[in-house]
Amino acid sequence: MDKAGFKKVEALGERDPLDRARLGLYPLFTEQFLDWLFAQFGGQSPVYTVHLRGIKPL
Amino acid sequence: MTEEAPLKWTDEDAARIVREAYGTVVPGGGTGVADSVYTAEELAQLPAPVREMALGMGNPVRYADPGPGETVLDLGSGGGIDTLLAALRVRPTGRAVGIDFTERMLDRARSHAAMMGLTNAEFVYGTMEEIPLPDASADVVISNGVINLSTKKGRVFAECFRVLRPGGRLVFADSVIDGCLPKEVLENEAAYAG
């Protein structure tokens, strides 16, 4: 974002882990796929959701 | 998110994977997602078919806090939930524009806007790497779990910068990772689309 010219780039709120229960809400993923995915991660998801904000300078 | 993560696919392959994954989502699957990221007040403003197509990762509208009269652009608008929440906030004089490159999602989003009687929400075919809006035409750009799907993230941020007015804000929700994804995950189509 900063390379594009944005200023005051910041994370907003807490970052939420995309754990098995959370990913299970999405219809994009089958149970079989999630079994495979979390096996690749050793059972622990390294992925999080964040909110980011950047401002275009005046 | 890493810049330009190494992928085994061409840009066209990556776009196909995303189109196929999101173009085949069955309505009704996203209710749990909507309940997990939107407030009860927000959900109360949305008809069931809109809530059921929620596939985002967070709530960028809440953090962007668009106000009356502003123009909001939603990158990868899908079924339209974030565009429509923005349209509710910016009316009567503001507007919200959702862009998506999946025709089926655009059709659904337009149907949802009509269902809600929102005439200040529009849905346009386009990509986030080539946003079909003029320079400095938006006050706010939002996106919800979509920028990670681009193979040209630097280009996406440059386009967001271009279409924002001076002082405008880009607010998005997306996934980040501690470390690197295993090669097996990086090369899996379902994982990429997700």
Residues in chain B where the model's pLDDT stays below 70: 1-7, 27-30, 192-194
CB contacts of B164 in chain A (<8 Å) are 56
Give every strand in the sheet of B121-125, ordered side by side: A7-17, A47-55, B164-177, B138-144, B71-75, B95-100, B121-125
B68: its two tokens: 């009356």
A57 shares contact with chain B (CB less than 8 Å)? yes
How many angstroms separate the CA atoms of B180 and B131, rounded? 29
- Say if residue B36 is exposed, middle or buried (CB neighbours under 10 Å; 0-12, 13-18, 19+): middle
Residue of A2, A12, A14, A51 to mutate for B, most B C-beta atoms under 10 A: A51
The per-residue pLDDT for range A7-38, each reduced to its tens digit, is 989 999 988 888 888 888 888 888 888 888 88
Q: What is the predicted ipTM?
A: 0.90
The three-class DSSP label of residue B73 is: strand
Residue of B22, B105, B153, B161 to mutate for A, most A C-beta atoms under 10 A: B161
- Say if residue B76 is exposed, middle or buried (CB neighbours under 10 Å; 0-12, 13-18, 19+): buried
**Among A6, A16, A46, beta carbon nearest to B179:** A46
Smallest CA-to-CA distance from B151 within B15, B21, B17, B55 is with B15
Smallest CA-to-CA distance from B105 within B134, B76, B69, B85 is with B76
Kindly give the pairing relationship between strand A7-17 and strand A47-55.
antiparallel
The per-residue pLDDT for range B83-126, each reduced to its tens digit, is 999 999 999 999 999 999 999 999 999 999 999 999 999 999 99
B190: its two tokens: 């379902």
Kindly give the pairing relationship between strand B164-177 and strand B71-75.
unpaired
B107: its two tokens: 């059709």
**Among A3, A6, A48, beta carbon nearest to B175:** A48
Q: According to the model, what pLDDT value does residue B1 have?
A: 44
